[in-house]
């Protein structure tokens, strides 16, 4: 039986609390960066099999913007922040007051801004997880790709040769005025990393 099939409500509650704290930290950091109030809705947090990740962002052939990090430290893994194209354009337009280029075309400034936003979000969520577990975890420098979701997810496999069989999904919604912009955060720990995380939290993995 895979790990995501044996997680109880208590484990999910712990992960939801980590997601909530991470969202609060991210909203504060983004507000400071942009010098304007930014809210983030309470995120939906769940675990799912790795093979279902692409389905959550429109399917393996859906073109997305993905900001990828390798997580290093005591519980290594892969971290993706994924936007569909239209929400990414809205994010740049509403939060950064940038005029956007044609669909699938992003200026260097836009790519830099998305990478920085992804960096803030990844750091916020990973910091909340590290604070809860007392495990050392840190993201690498972000890499941004505009490609089909299946190709983006395979990148980690190609680079590192393995991924765990479960992913932590956090649906993130930015709220600015009446606008809502959604992105999806996936943490895919290496094999054995989930059990390390739960052991550090004092929760048995089986």
177 or 202, higher pLDDT? 202
pLDDT score at 8: 66
With 80 as the cut, is the pLDDT of residue 3 above it? no
pLDDT at res. 98: 64
Convert the pLDDT of each residue in 153-175 to its tens digit: 887 666 665 666 788 888 888 77
- The pLDDT assigned to 73 comes to 92
Where is mean pLDDT largest: 5-9, 136-140, 158-162? 136-140
Confidence of residue 26 (pLDDT cuts 50, 70, 90): confident
Average pLDDT on 119-139 reads 87
C-alpha 127 chain-centroid distance? 13
pLDDT, tens digit, 9 for 90 and up, residues 32-75: 877 778 888 878 888 888 888 888 888 989 999 999 888 999 99
Length of the chain: 206
Average the pLDDT over 80-103 and give the result. Answer: 76
- H-helix or E-strand spanning residue 96: helix 85-96
- In order of 3, 17, 93, the CA distances from 128 in angstroms are 22, 9, 29
pLDDT score of 159? 64
Level-2 CATH architecture, domain 6-200:
3-Layer(aba) Sandwich (3.40)
| Structure-block tokens of residue 135 | 């495990």
* Cα 51 from Cα 191, distance rounded (Å): 15
| 150 or 12: which leads in pLDDT | 150
Question: For the chain, which residues make up each domain, given as ranges?
Answer: 6-200
The chain-wide mean pLDDT, for the chain, equals: 81
DSSP-derived secondary structure letter, 183: E
Which of 71-80, 96-105, 175-184, 194-203 is modeled with the greatest confidence? Answer: 71-80
Degrees to nearest 5, angle at CA 61 with 184 and 102: 75
Residues 103-128, mean pLDDT to the nearest whole number: 84
């Amino acid at each position: 039986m895979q790990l995501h099939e044996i997680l109880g409500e208590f484990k999910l509650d712990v992960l939801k609390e980590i997601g909530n704290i991470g969202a609060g930290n991210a909203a504060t950091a983004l507000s400071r960066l942009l010098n304007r109030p930014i809210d983030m809705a309470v995120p939906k947090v769940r675990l799912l099999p790795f093979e279902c990740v692409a389905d959550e962002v429109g399917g393996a052939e859906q073109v997305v913007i993905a900001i990828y990090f390798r997580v290093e430290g005591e519980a290594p893994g892969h971290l993706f922040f994924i936007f569909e194209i239209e929400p990414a354009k809205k994010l740049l337009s509403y939060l950064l007051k940038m005029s956007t280029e044609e669909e699938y075309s992003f200026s260097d400034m836009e790519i830099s801004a998305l990478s920085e936003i992804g960096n803030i979000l990844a750091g916020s969520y990973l910091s909340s997880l590290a604070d809860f577990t007392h495990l050392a975890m840190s993201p690498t420098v972000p890499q941004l790709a505009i490609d089909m979701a299946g190709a983006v997810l395979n990148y980690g496999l190609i680079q590192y040769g393995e991924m765990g069989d479960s992913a932590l999904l956090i649906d993130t919604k930015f709220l600015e005025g009446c606008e809502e912009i959604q992105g999806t955060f996936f943490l895919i720990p290496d094999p054995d990393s989930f059990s390390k995380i739960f052991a550090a939290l004092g929760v048995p993995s089986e």
